[in-house]
Structure 1
Amino acid sequence: MTLHIAFDNSYARLPDRFYVRQAPVPVAEPRLLALNEPLARDLGLDPAALGSPEGIAMLAGNAVPEGAEPLAQAYAGHQFGGWNPQLGDGRAILLGEVVDQSGQRRDIQLKGAGRTPFSRMGDGRAWVGPVLREFVVSEAMHAMGVPTTRALSAVATGETIRRERAYPGAVLARVASSHIRVGTFQYFYARNDMEALVALTEHVLQRHYPGVEGAMGLLRAVVDRQARLVAQWMSLGFIHGVMNTDNMAVSGETIDYGPCAFMDAYHPDTVFSSIDAYGRYAYRQQPQVAAWNLAQLATALLPLMGNEAAIPEATEVVQGLAGIYAEEWTRRFAAKLGLDPADPDVQPLATRLLDQMAATWADFTLTFRALAEDGEVPADLAAQPAFQDWRRDWEAKSPDRDAMRAANPAIIPRNHRVEAMIQAAVAGDLAPLDELREALARPFDSDSRFDHLRVPPQEEERVVQTFCGT
């Protein structure tokens, strides 16, 4: 069966200093672990061809399809606040771009595709755990309506990857509106490469923001999308875990699912990332970090906006994130509580509930879904007189429970379930992966087949740290 991909590679037409042209490094014994057939069809690809030996070879990086122009992208970034002038794709290769069935341009990238000039002593590979975590979590996010990169496939490599111990290797085929980051702009700003900054800005405007004009317009558009994206994360109890500027896509999609996690027990200071020792990227910090990152984007764009003369307006744009975020947060939590977002009581009611949940470490997803289903909230929360007072005030508003069920997922990729799925896959059992994929494809449904996946972890099942896998 012949695999045909109609590539049209606009990023590869940018100047050579935007990337390094490089083919993926072949792997020993590629074997398909998961294929996202609906996404394949959206991209105009034949799932049967992708699942054939020819398709698996391409998804593993062992064969470069006709029309592809494989490359590793250059970018810089602030990592945990520390500046690194050169990062780049150290283990990812952009095969090329396709225009999907809806007319949208999409990148197809192989993550774990081998060493590049940006690998910085790394092996350029990925092991099966982070690959399957990103596959499951990114697709769950998509099903919840969150702008996100997506997973086309996961392929085992037949090779051993060394981290703290030996693991089986894997390659993820990731699909994105683009892989252009805040750090991409920082890369050229740090080199005083105004020609490249102009070319990059024009490319991003044409690709992601048609109708928007100029660098200030771009900054305003990115601020708006990021503010709304982070508010949506917050409404789902999602913690990105590593919000470096090189992990913030200017398209407004969630990107780079490394040490990410959904909270079980709610507390605003929750951190999962094993490398976030000081809580820089804790749940409550995400809106502030987004603003900090976008201030770095504003700095990189200043030469195109008029330098010092543009600082007041650029500052106002970045500071405007707080208002956009607050509006979107209120809208999201109004839906979660079945209320009219114009009701002035939405914000205080939501805050009161969250404060009670934090005081009792109530499960985030379970609490909101129980309210939506008129069920029992966690016992410690229900026992609080303050919660009973809150419930009377809230129910006096006659909440719309149909709207609540559409806003509060019944099932999320809980950390202990994801970890159990990974352990099973390492042992050769893909049944838990298939079950999670099926359940999370319809996260707002109440399907009794998956009731066991809704249950919070027992004490011995709790996952307290998540890892990048690099």
Structure 2
Amino acid sequence: MKTLDQLAFDNRFARLGDTFSTRVLPQPIEQPRLVVASPAAMALLDLDPGESARPEFAALFAGHRLWQDAEPRAMVYSGHQFGMYNPQLGDGRGLLLGEVVNARGEYWDLHLKGAGYTPYSRMGDGRAVLRSSIREFLASEHLAALGIPTTRALCVVASTTPVYRERAETAAMLLRLSPSHLRFGHFEFFYYTRQHEALRQLAEHALDCHFPACREQAQPFAAMFREVVERTAATIALWQAYGFCHGVMNTDNMSLLGLTFDYGPYAFLDDFDAHHVCNHSDDSGRYSFENQVPIAHWNLSALGQALTPLVAVEQLRESLALFLPLYQAHYLDRMRRRLGLRTAEDGDEVLVQRLLALMQQGGVDYSRFFRSLGDEPAAAAMQRLREDFVDLAGFDAWAADYLARAAREGAQDESERRARMHAVNPRYILRNYLAQQAIEAAEQGDYGPVRELHAVLSRPFADQPGMERYAERPPEWGKHLEISCSS
């Protein structure tokens, strides 16, 4: 294991030069103190978890010092926001400090969010507030524990530096880790500004650093786009299978690597509602839960448009056409596993759709239903879960078809079935009210609830004695929290 001072840097993106980013130093926040750190994220850098207890740890991730080999850069990009093209965005409150290489040869971007004003801050102050930093930290590490591709979060550092949003708050910084911070919007910026040589240079960089296998293909850029489509389809399928709502699926929030990226007003579904909109600024419902699949497809088409100087349009269309069938295959695979099914049948899609329609009508708790389904033999579970539904006749018909479907797979050992289902159906899920309670405590200087919640969510599939309250049904007030984009 390494200390902070032993991290090895190789800043490949910074070497692309000033066309792609601007050198900016972080602006420190006052009286930094560690809120929470992730041992799992620290392990990605080979960092000794004990390093988080050192005073230097909070100072480093509050902008008070830098590694000698760090090269902090604010990246330039653009993107479509709520369907409208914004010509220049960029890192308005974050800095790519550099790229660390771990003992396995993996590269990890260190991106400090809330690091202060940059040339791309526009009218903003470049700061992040404590509540949004905690929310991103919790979500990043929880999705990773669920097996959903995501950026990671190493730590949150609080301060006394004042910031002003809807109310007076305090600034914080979050250290985000990712193999890459390239977004769809990076390519859009160089396409729409007609900097096609820079566009090619960026695509070459992406191939070399993140898609080396595509170099072996006859048309590497086309192969890269196809892989982006495949990765995005797989990630969105897991979002839908686990009831995750991103909230702001702008193209500048879409990762080239298919990672869940830029957490804002996200939410996991409590009661199942396909129409759920988790961002109170989304008046049209553009980024509702049910729209995430078509929006991902739309965003991929926007990336494809930006790559037209490098790839033939027909090839881009062929790859784009793969998105929906790939998504559906990944989604049905995960939903079968969540239902305890081991094989595939043609009627499985309809079986899932019927269940979701019944859950929608009855306001059934999405996560608890699947976890409970594996707690006991299927027939007994049907009798107990029946009480949560409004359309009892409809549920009875579905239950009969589900039991018949499961029976066609043959007899199962119940302990094996339980273990298999519990391995994909979380006992604990990051509900907004739990995050809100932890945030309110942290804003009063009590970081214990954040740390405990993080620890529980880091093992979402395991029963954790004494932590049952984190698996309870949310209170009614907890189902209706409004989350904004403000940071």
Provide the residue aligned with 1:313 in structure 2: 315
What code does the residue aligned with 2:77 have?
Y
Give the stretch that moved more between structures: 242-251 or 431-440: 431-440
1:393 aligned onto 2:397: no
Q: Deviations over 1:131-158 (max 9, x none)?
A: 0011111101000111101110100122
Shift of 1:378: 7.0
What code does the residue aligned with 1:318 have?
L
Q: Deviations over 1:397-424 (max 9, x none)?
A: 1474432211111110111111111011
Provide the residue aligned with 1:133 in structure 2: 135
1:464 aligned onto 2:468: no
1:82 aligned onto 2:90: no
What code does the residue aligned with 2:100 have?
V
Q: Supply the distance in 1 between the matched residues of 2:253 and 2:296 (Cα, whole angstroms).
A: 11
> Which residues of 2 match residues 266-345 of structure 1 at below 5 A?
266-305=272-311, 310-345=312-347
SS in 2 for 1:148: coil
Provide the residue aligned with 1:359 in structure 2: 361
- The count of corresponding residues between Structure 1 and Structure 2 is 466
Q: When the two structures are superposed, what TM-score results if normalisation uses the length of structure 1? A: 0.96
Contact 1:331/1:341 (8 A) holds in 2: no
Give the stretch that moved more between structures: 397-406 or 147-156: 397-406
Give the stretch that moved more between structures: 214-223 or 74-83: 214-223
Give the stretch that moved more between structures: 33-42 or 149-158: 33-42
Q: Supply the distance in 2 between the matched residues of 1:354 and 1:120 (Cα, whole angstroms).
A: 43
Provide the residue aligned with 2:55 in structure 1: 53
Provide the residue aligned with 1:222 in structure 2: 228
Provide the residue aligned with 2:435 in structure 1: 418
Provide the residue aligned with 2:392 in structure 1: 384
What code does the residue aligned with 2:25 have?
A
In structure 2, do the counterparts of structure 1 residues 462 and 342 end up closer, same or farther at CA, with 3 Å as the change threshold?
Answer: closer
Provide the residue aligned with 1:170 in structure 2: 172
Shift of 1:192: 1.1
Provide the residue aligned with 2:116 in structure 1: 114
> Which residues of 2 match residues 4-153 of structure 1 at below 5 A?
4-153=6-155
Contact 2:358/2:391 (8 A) holds in 1: no
Contact 1:3/1:46 (8 A) holds in 2: no
Provide the residue aligned with 2:255 in structure 1: 249
SS in 2 for 1:107: strand
SS in 1 for 2:170: strand
Shift of 1:383: 6.2
Q: Deviations over 1:199-227 (max 9, x none)?
A: 11111122222211422111101000000
Contact 1:367/1:378 (8 A) holds in 2: no
In structure 2, do the counterparts of structure 1 residues 378 and 171 end up closer, same or farther at CA, with 3 Å as the change threshold?
Answer: farther
Give the stretch that moved more between structures: 234-243 or 386-395: 386-395
Cα RMSD (Å): 1.6
Runs of 4 or more consecutive aligned structure 1 residues displaced over 6 Å after TM superposition: none
Contact 1:92/1:113 (8 A) holds in 2: yes
Question: Gapped runs of 5+ residues in structure 1?
Answer: none
Shift of 1:93: 0.7
Contact 2:80/2:252 (8 A) holds in 1: yes
SS in 2 for 1:369: helix
Q: Deviations over 1:47-67 (max 9, x none)?
A: 334442222221111111110
In structure 2, do the counterparts of structure 1 residues 317 and 28 end up closer, same or farther at CA, with 3 Å as the change threshold?
Answer: same
1:238 aligned onto 2:244: yes
SS in 2 for 1:272: coil
In structure 2, do the counterparts of structure 1 residues 303 and 358 end up closer, same or farther at CA, with 3 Å as the change threshold?
Answer: same
Shift of 1:5: 2.0
What code does the residue aligned with 2:362 have?
T
Shift of 1:95: 0.5
Q: Supply the distance in 2 between the matched residues of 1:261 and 1:98 (Cα, whole angstroms).
A: 31
Q: Supply the distance in 2 between the matched residues of 1:167 and 1:113 (Cα, whole angstroms).
A: 16
1:445 aligned onto 2:459: no
SS in 1 for 2:308: helix
Q: Supply the distance in 1 between the matched residues of 2:40 and 2:318 (Cα, whole angstroms).
A: 42
Q: Supply the distance in 1 between the matched residues of 2:349 and 2:466 (Cα, whole angstroms).
A: 35
Shift of 1:15: 2.7
Contact 2:361/2:390 (8 A) holds in 1: no
Provide the residue aligned with 1:211 in structure 2: 213
1:431 to 427, 448, 459: 448
What code does the residue aligned with 1:419 have?
Q
SS in 1 for 2:466: helix
What code does the residue aligned with 2:243 have?
G
Q: Supply the distance in 1 between the matched residues of 2:386 and 2:455 (Cα, whole angstroms).
A: 27
SS in 2 for 1:33: strand
Q: Supply the distance in 1 between the matched residues of 2:4 and 2:427 (Cα, whole angstroms).
A: 41
What code does the residue aligned with 2:431 have?
R
Q: Supply the distance in 2 between the matched residues of 1:378 and 1:426 (Cα, whole angstroms).
A: 41
Q: Supply the distance in 2 between the matched residues of 1:313 and 1:2 (Cα, whole angstroms).
A: 46
Q: Supply the distance in 1 between the matched residues of 2:233 and 2:391 (Cα, whole angstroms).
A: 35
SS in 2 for 1:119: coil
